[in-house]
Amino acid sequence: MSQAAPGFDTTPQLRLAFYGDDFTGSTDTLATLSEAGLRAMLFLRVPTAEQLQFAGPLDALGIAGAARSMAPDAMRAELEPVGRFFASLRVPILQYKTCSTFDSAPHVGSIGVAVDVLRRVAPSPLVAIVGGQPNLGRYCVFANLFAAVSSGGSVVRIDRHPTMRAHPVTPMHEADLRVHLAAQGLERVANIDATTYELADAAQEAGLERAMFDSPDAVLFDVGRQADLAAIGRLLCRHARKSPLLMVGPSGATQALLEYWRQDGASMQLNSVTGRVARISPASGPVFVLAGSLSPTTARQVDAASAYVRNALDAQRVVAQDGAYVDAWIDHAATQLRAGKNVLAYTSHGGDAASAPPKVAHELPTQCGVLLARLMKQSPVRRVGIAGGDTSSHAVKALDIWALSYVGSLAPGVAMCRAHSHAPQLEGVEFMLKGGQMGPDDLFDRLLTGN
């Protein structure tokens, strides 16, 4: 894989480099940075010299991956070249972007493995884990993670969340992130609890120094409310001035940096806290949606979609690579798209994550990616929606796309991005990528009409 281009000026302006463990979370971080006014681009692998030159000067650079669905050995193979590339950029802050629900396990998507790899290839004396993202209803209080059941819904402990406790691959059975991460190899995680942010700046910094004194594997920062992010950002940015920082967490961690950079004001001018949400125009042609997520939220969105023809996908036959079934399904969907119809494909488990056999849940995202790549060759479309974190990652990786740039957001955590590709039928295609739990019930209709 190529390292940074000799002519790519990364030093004085590049402030943040991040790897996203799935594509939906990566696009959320891209949206967070772009709406703040930063120049950012999301690559789908370590970029070549030519791709970096095309991107031009950047404030933030991301690489979207699929580590959240990988076994430890595969994660190491994925992350080691990424870490070496990031180290060559000499960026002060490196982020391993996780899902806001921290769903992971020792055998798949291990955050501990990611920290071990990145800390070795891009040494950092502090691994800072930011434990929440309030704008998505994710909160960490005294190291325990809480999440809203749906957009604007009641907030429950993550191990009692109806979707996350029954996740088909990485069910969350522990709310204390220290215990959860210890099982993944981060056995000594110190906690900066939310009461610390009420202290004077000097006392906050002393608290961080005490937490780091015993050289723990990581320091976990509580996030109980939106206002906590500014204090966290101040602590992390001041530390990054002294030595490189490895930051772990969702886009809430990125928001913490932005809050401090806004208040600092001396080095850059950023948009307001709410940002400037770019206008998304109505679709100019038929839209295809692939709902590979098994979450109840996505099931409601499928039911509410009023402007699509619905085509059920038999998940077990797709995973079994039933050639006759898949061929006939693709031919049927392509015919509908060429006729100008919007097509919504959905898996046939009715949104009940617990009902999916483990093999189906694990292998479905990859096979959905193969299906999407074949369909887009038969019937090119200019706007595509993909529901499901793992489905989004594998589906986009199956396409000949090398980067994504930000277009706008349809809802919190739901970004629209423009594809960059050497293939004419893919260049400029707009992709909406969303996690299973993200977005309002009418999201797929919004994908048609814009915001």
Q: What is the pLDDT of residue 348?
A: 61
Domain residue ranges of the chain, discontinuous segments joined by +: 16-264, 287-449
Q: What is the mean pLDDT of the chain?
A: 87
Mean pLDDT of 105-134: 93
User: How far is the C-alpha of 44 from the C-alpha of 47, rounded, in Å?
Assistant: 8
Residue 291: per-residue pLDDT: 86
What is the percent of the chain with per-residue pLDDT over 90, rounded to a whole number? Answer: 57
pLDDT of the residue at 25 = 84
For domain 287-449, the question of CATH label 3.40.980.20 is answered with yes
Residue 302 has pLDDT above 80, yes or no: yes
What pairs with residue 365 in β-bridges? none
pLDDT score of 265: 63
Task: Identify the weakest region by mean pLDDT among 114-123, 166-175, 357-366.
Answer: 357-366
Q: Which two tokens stand for residue 47?
A: 């970029």
Q: Find, among 97, 132, 128, 134, the residue nearest to 208 by Cα.
A: 128
Reported confidence tier of residue 276, pLDDT bands at 50, 70, 90: low
Look at residue 434 in the predicted model and tell me its pLDDT: 87
Q: What is the pLDDT of residue 350?
A: 43
What pLDDT does residue 3 have?
A: 44
C-alpha 424/C-alpha 76 separation (Å) is 33
pTM for the model stands at: 0.85
pLDDT single digits (tens) 378-417: 888 999 998 877 777 778 888 889 999 999 988 887 889 9
The overall longest dimension of the chain from CA atoms, in Å, is: 67
Q: pLDDT by residue (tens digit) across 183-234?
A: 999 999 999 999 999 999 999 999 999 998 877 999 999 999 999 999 999 9
pLDDT score, position 358: 62
The confidence score (pLDDT) of residue 262 equals 87
pLDDT for 7 equals 42
Q: How confident is the model at residue 2 (pLDDT cuts 50, 70, 90)?
A: very low
pLDDT the model gives residue 133: 93
Please report where in the chains the tokens 């463990």 appear, as a residue: 21
Which residues 6+ apart lie within 8 Å of 74 measured at CB? none
Which stretch of 39-43, 79-83, 265-269 has the lowest confidence by average pLDDT?
265-269
Give 269 or 266, the one with higher predicted confidence: 269
Please say if the pLDDT value at position 425 is more than 90: no
Please determine, for residue 1, whether its predicted confidence score (pLDDT) is greater than 50.
no
Q: What is the mean pLDDT of residues 443-447?
A: 92
C-alpha separations of 428 from 60, 94, 186, 268 in Å? 21, 29, 41, 30
99's tokens: 């899902």
Any idea which of 76-80, 236-240, 248-252, 408-412 has the lowest mean pLDDT? 408-412
Query: What is the CATH code for 16-264?
Result: 3.40.50.10840
Residue 357 is predicted with a pLDDT of: 62
- pLDDT per residue as tens digits for the range 146-192: 999 877 789 999 999 998 998 878 889 999 999 999 999 999 999 99
pLDDT of residue 269: 63
Query: Residue range 234-241: average pLDDT?
Result: 92
Lowest mean pLDDT among 74-83, 212-221, 288-297: 288-297
